[in-house]
Structure 1
Amino acid sequence: MTFNFDCDLRPGSGLGIFELGSSLWNVLDLLRRLQHSFPQVDIKYDDTDASSTTPIILHIRPHLNLLFSGKQQRLHTIVLGKLRLGDPPVTLRYKDTVLSSPNDVLKRVFVSRTFGTDLPVPEDDLRADLRYPGVWFSFEEDGMGDGLKGIQSEDRMHEVKRVIVSQKELEGEHRDVLSEVVECPAMDGDISRCDRQGITLQFHPAGTKSVHIRLGETTAQDLTMDLGPPIRVHYKDDERMTIHSSNPDDNVEPSYFYNYFQHGLDFLLSPTHVVIKIVLHSNIPGSPLFQRYKRCNWEIEAKPEDDEDDTPPRKPFHERFETISHFLSPREPPPSMLLDRTDDEEAMTLPSATTRLHGYDGIILEVSESSQVVAVMLF
């Protein structure tokens, strides 16, 4: 059964079901629930040591490319192509106007009539794109403008091949295509940063009250009040981690996890329903837990030198393990322990399935073979 891909264009905001600023985790979760409509999705990312901070592209065949920013993993740019090709066919609308459909060809003259005069460009800029705040229209199927120099921009009947949606820029502002997404309504309620002070969670939008979660103090009821109910309650602890606990008996049943996949967080609660361990996930592409958790933008904070020290040094998730390890312990790194998260997943095969656990005072780093910290555990 073939459906018609019918989507509305919202310059500077989104396209169809996709909203600029949405997290990679949310978009992939949405696509998973709509597999009948979007059966072919490819994830493209840099598989080098820099994969924690390089952009990610979702190619939704045949029409869509979604570009996500490297650090925040937020939807930065939407590219709609093959307007007249591919299956299913595309119907593109703007407000109450049909721009393109199997029966309507979108041409330069109609774009100008609908959106008015495009943004001015320097005289030596030979690109033929029509650019407006939050959207531009391209007359080439591939590339981002490099192949447009041979097209005469005065041809009113040229057919639009691609539509690109991005956030609007302020007057005089120029944002790089690889920049982070500016705070927008799609981020509301998401964690903007996670500091280690127990932990302190900061939320979008800016100015929202922070939430403090403290080991040995915060209760299951507190978590539900501050973060809502967990997506899953899990009653199986990893016994391999008890070696790092000051009291091995605190991890026996019936301890349980509150899993907040939508925040990139796990909380282990004691039989008395108090938080005794916190796990923060980095959502590194290619790692065993990629896309199970949203990226938690954690930072490890050093202890303030005195009461007046309000800017203690921090190390963010995208620093290499060697840098964070030296920050936590200037001496030699502690002994490590091998962990293979695919042991219980017979159908999962990854080129780098194993990680190592490095224990410090009150903190454990889970590190990939490429020296990226894929998770932090506080206890």
Structure 2
Amino acid sequence: MIDVGTQNLKTTSLSPTYDVVPGESVGLFQLGDNLWHVLELLRTHKTEYPKVEVSWDEESPHKSAVTIHLPYITLYFPPSPIYQLLSLIQITVPPSSSSNLELTYETQVLSSSHIPLTRARVGRLMGPTFVSKAGNKLEFPGITFQLTPSNMGDAGFGPREDIVHKLIIEATEDEELQPRLISCVIEPNTGITLGLDEDHLLRITIGQTTAQDLILDIGSPLRKFWKEDDRLSKMWGNTNTNQQSSCFWNYLQYGLDFLVDKDGIVIKIICHSNIPGTPLFQRYAKCPWTITTSSGQLDSTTPSNVFRSHFSSSQNVEEYIEQLKLTVPSPSPTPDNEINGNSVNRKKNKKRNGSPNNAMILDRLVEGGLDGVSGLGASKLIGFNGLIIEEDEKSGGICSVLIFKDNNN
């Protein structure tokens, strides 16, 4: 569990107001939004929520559901190897006398400090329905009202005065949540194919796709920068002016990075998995990447030994390791943690913790910006022909995938 700090919506924390749209949204929170987008939204509203908690299974975060806990509201992102989509919103309705929470539906007040939400009021505003067989909930398309039998019924008012204590908003059975990016199929040594919608596939080929193609097809990047420090010269060499002049294009909303050379050509691609509890969590949205093999699809939950069984090993990890580290600007490391120091294990001919020779250890904690964050571990970079995967050593999840063209093969 992590605390992402003080947050805000559209009113003060003393009197929050949410418009409820069955099967669609509650206030600013829209079903189908990804985890990255929702947390970014919370960061832009910093006065309403005194505390926001994000929870997951710490033992297997790459396979875990993620839940955001807010005052009165819980946002649920079910476990998926491909997506992190908001699929259920739960509202806990406190006793009217103890809260200023106000819920509206189609410009009418559902519940407030002086208007309790009862079974009868639900029927008046949303139309008649049948109570469940268990007698504890009312179900409408896209929304469920859970009831608490009240003392008012015992006093002769009847069950129509049963109080609603919880609302659950989710997509209707005939509707499917639509992610911003449907798919990303990786082809090592070649590139990726993006599914922008069901009828629109976009192929991005290393060495062919241009920066202008990216802008026309997926828009401008949220961030674009040249990483200028001596680590790049050590990695690329002072004579390779083409790659020295390369620029990182960050599409954080899609979980994608593109390395564009001085001629405007895409030369490398990185797909991010946004695994909770890892150093890169919440820098990028979860990219829905998969790799098709003869035995099925590989994804962020696939063990590294399965990758080894499908792809030939490569020693190019050292050559491209810094591109996995430097895609997002971060404070320069201290001299003790320079490229030949503690951040990377470069002993090629020795194994560390039983790792094969095509694997290297990456410690992102020395990059800066993670002060005070506990429980973070190192990654293991494993190189294959045209592909480098970054495996979280603690959970075994694949944090990122770098696709490049191995000109030696």
Report the number of matched residues: 342
Deviation at 1:283, TM superposition (A): 0.6
Equivalent residues in 2 for 1:76-225 (5 A)? Answer: 76-84=87-95, 89-119=100-130, 121=132, 125-140=133-148, 155-170=159-174, 182-184=176-178, 187=179, 190-197=180-187, 198-204=191-197, 206-207=198-199, 209-225=200-216
How high is the TM-score relative to the length of structure 1? 0.81
Quote the residue 2:266 is aligned against: 275
Quote the residue 1:69 is aligned against: 78
CA RMSD of aligned residues (A): 3.2
2:388 to 359, 364, 368: 364
Per-residue CA distance 1:152-206 (angstroms, 9 max, x = gap): 9x62212211111111124xxxxxxxxxx8234xx3xx211111231100023x2
1:328 to 297, 311, 335: 311
Quote the residue 1:55 is aligned against: 65
Tell me, in whole angstroms, the C-alpha distance in 1 between the residues paired with 2:112 and 2:126. 18
Tell me, in whole angstroms, the C-alpha distance in 2 between the residues paired with 1:164 and 1:251. 54
Tell me, in whole angstroms, the C-alpha distance in 2 between the residues paired with 1:15 and 1:341. 37
After superposition, the Cα gap between the structure-2 partners of 1:58 and 1:278, relative to the gap in structure 1 and judged at 3 Å, is same
Q: Is 1:373 matched with 2:398? A: yes
SS of residue matched to 1:210? strand
Q: Is 1:11 matched with 2:22? A: yes
Q: Which runs of 5+ in 2 are unaligned?
A: 1-11, 315-354, 405-409
Q: 1:342 touches 1:348 (CA, 8 Å); kept in 2?
A: no
SS of residue matched to 2:102? strand
Tell me, in whole angstroms, the C-alpha distance in 2 between the residues paired with 1:324 and 1:136. 43
Deviation at 1:27, TM superposition (A): 0.6
Tell me, in whole angstroms, the C-alpha distance in 1 between the residues paired with 2:185 and 2:290. 5
> Amino acid of the residue matched to residue 177 of structure 2?
E
SS of residue matched to 1:139? strand
Q: Is 1:258 matched with 2:258? A: no
Tell me, in whole angstroms, the C-alpha distance in 2 between the residues paired with 1:80 and 1:353. 35
After superposition, the Cα gap between the structure-2 partners of 1:374 and 1:86, relative to the gap in structure 1 and judged at 3 Å, is farther
After superposition, the Cα gap between the structure-2 partners of 1:134 and 1:2, relative to the gap in structure 1 and judged at 3 Å, is closer
**Percent identity over paired residues:** 32
Equivalent residues in 2 for 1:238-257 (5 A)? Answer: 249=240, 252-257=243-248
> Amino acid of the residue matched to residue 62 of structure 2?
S
Quote the residue 1:173 is aligned against: none
Q: Is 1:316 matched with 2:299? A: yes
Per-residue CA distance 1:32-82 (angstroms, 9 max, x = gap): 101112342100111113x2232110001x211000122211111101113
1:354 to 357, 360, 378: 378
SS of residue matched to 1:156? helix
Moved over 6 A (4+): 85-88, 237-248
Deviation at 1:248, TM superposition (A): 8.9
Per-residue CA distance 1:121-145 (angstroms, 9 max, x = gap): 4xxx4241111111111135xxxxx
Q: Is 1:24 matched with 2:35? A: yes
Quote the residue 1:176 is aligned against: none
Deviation at 1:252, TM superposition (A): 4.6
After superposition, the Cα gap between the structure-2 partners of 1:83 and 1:290, relative to the gap in structure 1 and judged at 3 Å, is same
